[in-house]
Amino acid sequence: MFTTLDPLNRALRVASAKDAAVLGQQSMTFGDFGTRCRKIAGALSGLGVDLGDRVAVLGPNSVKYLELYVGAPCAGRVVMPLNTRLAGPELEYQLRDAEAALVVTEGPLPCGEVAGMQVLSMKEWDALVDASPEEELGRGVVPEALAGLFYTGGTTGASKGVMLSHRNLLANTQNMLIAAALSPDDRYLIAAPLFHAAGSIAVLPCLWLGATQLVLPAFDPGNMLDIIASESVTVTLGVPTMVAALNDEQARQPR
C-alpha cells in the first residue's frame, strides 16, 4: 500500500524541474518542494516534535501551507489544518483535544496558550525551515499510521477530530485521479481553503502526477476568473456558493 511519501517521491523522479506550486509571481519546482519537505522534517525534529505528534496550521492558502500539508505527514507527523473562521474558544478546544505539539499561524492565535504546545508565526516557521538541515523522510510512515487530523464544524455538538491514515488519504487520491481524470499537463487551481476537503482533495493527486498547482489565498470570484484566464488553469473545484458567484461574475464581466 502507498503512503503520502509515494506521490512526493514519484514527482521528484518524473518532474523535479517542473513547477509544483505557483502563487502570483512566486513559484517552486518539485525538486525544491522535496527539499523543503526534508527541511520541514529537520525543523520538526529540532523543535522536539516527535513522530505522531500533531502539527496544526492556521492561515490562508499559501505555498508554505502546501509544504506543511505534505511535509508533516511525510516526516511521520500528523497535519492538523485549522478552520480560519472559528472563534478562539473553538480553536482552543480543538488544539487541547488533539494535544497539538505545534501550531504554525499566519496571524495572532485567537485563543489562549495551550499547555505543551509551541506557537510559531508563519514567518518564524519559514525562517526555521530555511535554517534547518534536511532530514530523510519516511520515519514512522506506514499505511496505517495517522497522517491527518481534520476537525468537523461542531454544529450538532462538540467538534470531532476525523482521523485519516496514510491509507485513507491515498484511497481518496486514487479515487480523485479516476473521477476527475487528471493528467500531468493539468494546471489545477486551489481555490477553496486547504482546511476543507474542497481545497485539499487534489493536493496529493496533482503531486503524484507531477501536475502544477496554483494557489489562491482567498476566494474572490473576479480574481479567480482572472487567474483562470491568465494562468491557463484547466481544473479547479468549488462548493456551490463559489460556483454561483463565479457564474454571476462571469455574466457581469466575461473573460
Average pLDDT of the chain to the nearest whole number: 96
Question: Which value, to the nearest 10 degrees, does the dihedral of the CA atoms of residues 221, 84, 129, 54 take?
Answer: -130
Count Cβ atoms within 10 A of the Cβ of residue 60 and give its class: 0-12 exposed, 13-18 middle, 19 or more buried: middle
The pLDDT score that the predictor gives to residue 231 is 96
The pLDDT score that the predictor gives to residue 51 is 98
pLDDT classification of 155: cutoffs 50, 70, 90: confident
175-211 pLDDT, tens digit each: 999 999 999 999 999 999 999 999 999 999 999 999 9
Instruction: Convert 84-109 to b/e letters by CB count within 10 Å (16 or more is b).
Output: bebeeebbbbbbeebebbbbbbbeeb
Identify whether the C-beta of residue 35 lies closer than 8 Å to the C-beta of residue 75: no
Is the pLDDT at 39 greater than 80, yes or no? yes
Is the pLDDT at 153 greater than 90, yes or no? no
Q: Which residues pair with 249 in a beta bridge?
A: none
213 vs 149: CA distance, rounded Å: 23
The percentage of the chain sitting over the pLDDT mark of 90, rounded to a whole number, equals 92
C-alpha cell read off for 244: 454561483
Residue with more model confidence, 57 or 156: 57
85 vs 52: CA distance, rounded Å: 26
Three-class DSSP category at 220: coil
The pLDDT score that the predictor gives to residue 212 is 98
Query: Could you count the other beta carbons within 10 Å of the beta carbon of residue 136?
Result: 9
The pLDDT score that the predictor gives to residue 111 is 87
The pLDDT score that the predictor gives to residue 5 is 97
**Listed ranges 73-82, 109-118, 156-165; the one with the highest mean pLDDT:** 73-82
C-alpha cell read off for 8: 512526493
Average pLDDT on 72-84 reads 98
Q: What's the whole-model pTM score?
A: 0.95
Identify whether the C-beta of residue 238 lies closer than 8 Å to the C-beta of residue 183: no
**Residue 58, CA distances (Å) to 26, 80, 108, 165, 194 in order:** 21, 9, 10, 21, 10
184 vs 18: CA distance, rounded Å: 10
The pLDDT score that the predictor gives to residue 113 is 78
Q: Long-range contacts for 181-184 (Cβ within 8 Å, ≥24 apart)?
A: 182/206, 182/209, 182/211, 182/235, 183/209, 183/211, 184/14, 184/15, 184/209, 184/210, 184/211
Average pLDDT on 74-103 reads 96
216-248 pLDDT, tens digit each: 999 999 999 999 999 999 999 999 999 999 999
Is the pLDDT at 20 greater than 80, yes or no? yes
103-150 pLDDT, tens digit each: 999 999 998 778 889 999 999 999 999 999 999 999 989 999 999 999
* 30-46 helix and 122-131 helix, angle to the nearest 10 degrees: 100
